[in-house]
Chain A
Amino acid sequence: MKDIADLLRHHPFAEGLDEDTLSLIAGCAKNVVLQQGDYLFREGAAADSFYLVRHGAVALETFVPARGPFTFLTVKTGEIVGADWLIPPYRSSFDARAVELTRAIAFDGKCLRGKCEADPRVGYEMMKRFIPPLVKRLQSARMQALGMYDAANA
């Protein structure tokens, strides 16, 4: 049975992370398995966790009355789910649902925030890993917001 630090080491999130930091943050992590349809978190609930997807796919969705749930992003193997744990009031702003059997490393947000506060070097290493996917998602969201396929013709 691999320990959690070992699982973490094989996720792209930990690429370039030194062993000390890795074992330090591993203290906030646990291994989880989500069945298809399981929710990782729900909109409005406390954002106390984030997830590194090891295998599987997670749909980020929101529910529109009279239209039902719709997915605006899928997060796949090697990627990160959840950013609301980073900023007060630590509340989830959308639903996250496993669309297939998904194995992930779940982090306790409060625990990790504490370690980042205690050691800014660790905090900076974490920021370097969270900011790039967030900026990329922002860029993608901007393209999606343009609704540009609507204007495309051939």
Chain B
Amino acid sequence: MPQTLEACAPPLHPMAPRMTPVTRFIRESQDVFTFDLAPEGATPFAPGQFNMLYAFGVGEIPISISGDSQAPERLTHTIRAVGPVSAALGKLQTGDRVGLRGPFGVGWPVEAAKGFDVLLIAGGIGLAPLRPVIYWLLRHRAAYGRVGVLYGARTPDDLIFRSELEEWRRTPDFQLRVAVERAGPEWTGDVGYVTPLLSKLRFDPADTVSMICGPEVMIRATALTLEDAGVADSRIFVSMERNMKCAIGHCGHCQFGPLFICKDGPVHSYDHVRNLLAYREL
């Protein structure tokens, strides 16, 4: 037998979920909700990593962790109800059990970004995987230069983390711009697409690390805008979404060219994916 076979010492059953109680459930908007899971023992995770969440008898989906990586005794997930599994998760109540596997994947480069200006650009539910970065930046504020967050959403009603958005808006040395695509007259904030707001943020492009999470169309447009502004493509990080069934690199579903989004990502530096993003249906 080849020796390499003996050398692996992984968790015995990487596909078996831990049934974990829901300890808090919050409705963020009409179709988005947040819940906390309290697994036995702390489950350390890095901002940008994801878990596989299983709704009993229904199925399992990948969900980024939206909570504080410095309080890993609680695993927070923010989910948009779009399919059968997310809809089932949306019907949970405190005390119900959710199957948990994870955390998986490569997260945001929060350590490598120390000393840089940091720009976070989120579209829709894409703010959820970036919230751990915001928590991190706020806790280690002195280690970073200027910090800016752009957040785009459909309408004011679709905004998530509203009370925190207000808190961050009032935070000194923290630039936050929120743009919605359409709004009624009660909305006094920005209306329009999110990337043009980049010009409203103060940052030094030569010394900026940027992290983008949102729909792929937005990632492409935003990364190009950042490049045009002078941010190096190796300092632009994007979170990619593909179908995932196993999260451990075995099922093959999440391939994107040579990459497995589940283990090489979901966060990739833009210089590694820009050529791949240019091809349709890759």
Contacts and interface: CB of A to CB of B under 8 A. Distances in A.
Interface in B68-97: 78-80, 82, 86
Contact of B191 (A73, A146, A150, A153): A73
B176 to A, nearest CB: 15
Given A61-B185, A68-B184, A143 B82 contact: no
Nearest to A37: B185
Contacts of A21: none
Interface stretch (B16-24, B39-47, B215-223, B255-263): B215-223
Interface SS, A side: mixed
Interface string B221-260: 1000000000000000001010000000000000000000
A4 interface: no
B158 A74 contact: no
Interface stretch (B2-10, B120-128, B135-143): B120-128
B276 to A, nearest CB: 19
B126 A136 contact: no
Contacts of A72: 181-182, 191-192
Contact residue range for chain B?
Answer: 35 or more
B133 to A, nearest CB: 13
A74 B214 CA distance: 22
Contact of A76 (B86, B152, B200): B200
A131 to B, nearest CB: 16
Interface SS, B side: mixed
A151 interface: yes
B180 to A, nearest CB: 8
A152 to B, nearest CB: 4
Interface in A127-154: 136-137, 139-141, 143-144, 146-154
Which among B63, B78, B217 has the greatest number of chain A C-beta atoms within 10 A?
Answer: B217
Nearest to B182: A70
A100 interface: yes
A72 B184 CA distance: 9
A69 interface: yes
B211 interface: no
B80 to A, nearest CB: 5
Nearest to B61: A153
B184 A148 contact: no
Given A71-B191, A74-B191, A143 B221 contact: yes
Contacts of A97: 185
A78 to B, nearest CB: 9
A83 interface: no
A71 B217 contact: no
B64 A154 contact: yes
18 contacts: A60-B191, A69-B184, A69-B185, A70-B182, A70-B183, A71-B184, A76-B190, A136-B196, A144-B182, A149-B214, A150-B124, A150-B154, A152-B123, A152-B124, A152-B218, A153-B80, A153-B86, A153-B241
Interface of B: 63-64, 66, 78-80, 82, 86, 123-126, 128-129, 152-154, 158, 181-185, 187-193, 195-196, 200, 213-215, 217-218, 221, 239, 241
Interface of A: 57, 59-61, 68-74, 76, 97, 99-100, 136-137, 139-141, 143-144, 146-154
